[in-house]
Amino acid sequence: MWLMLLLLALAGFEGLSVLISRNQLKQFDESIIQIVQGWESPALTRIAELFSKIGSSSVTIPLIIALAVILFIVLKHRKELILLIGGMLGSTLLNELLKRLYHRTRPDIHRIAEEQGYSFPSGHSMAAFSLYALLIFILWRHIPSRGGRTALIIFGLCMILCIGLSRIYLGVHYPSDILGGYWVSACWVAVCIRLFRRSERR
């Protein structure tokens, strides 16, 4: 059952990529971009730039290193360390592979920021989803209270959503880039967690 659901999810991602390659999501993308960029203001631009920075490698890499030190030295959770590092490395390599495979250029409707490279799927959204989804899974197991777990989920979801929206707001990604990034990262994180649980049972 689990494998079938994963295959269905991957088929859905491939369906999304086909729609993008055939330019059949143009109206959807442009309508969302118009809504999000319609909020433009100096204050929101600064907030979007902040979340975009948080989702960049210049912040995520030091954050992952700090978390790795805590997991390895302080908490002695070495299997969880492997899950975190392996999950993030795999997500990064997968994003690079998919970008080279699909070659989608970035939007040129209204650029508030500049970015190089291909557009689909969004690297920021993949990194954000992978990182915060893995953190939710790892920390959930060590937070006993319902309130703490709820706060953890809300924080993680807000970070994932805000980083994705910031990329649309700044004009460097289509909404379908963000959706694709979330989609494929969800599949990847599901595989990582599945393998982690199997290794624990052994």
Q: How far is CA 115 from CA 41, 52, 57, 108, 111, in A?
A: 20, 11, 13, 11, 9
Rounded CA-CA distance 182/15 in Å is: 15
- Sort 58 into a burial class: Cβ within 10 Å, 0-12 / 13-18 / 19+: exposed
For the annotated catalytic residues, the residue numbers are 124, 173
Rounded CA-CA distance 182/121 in Å is: 9
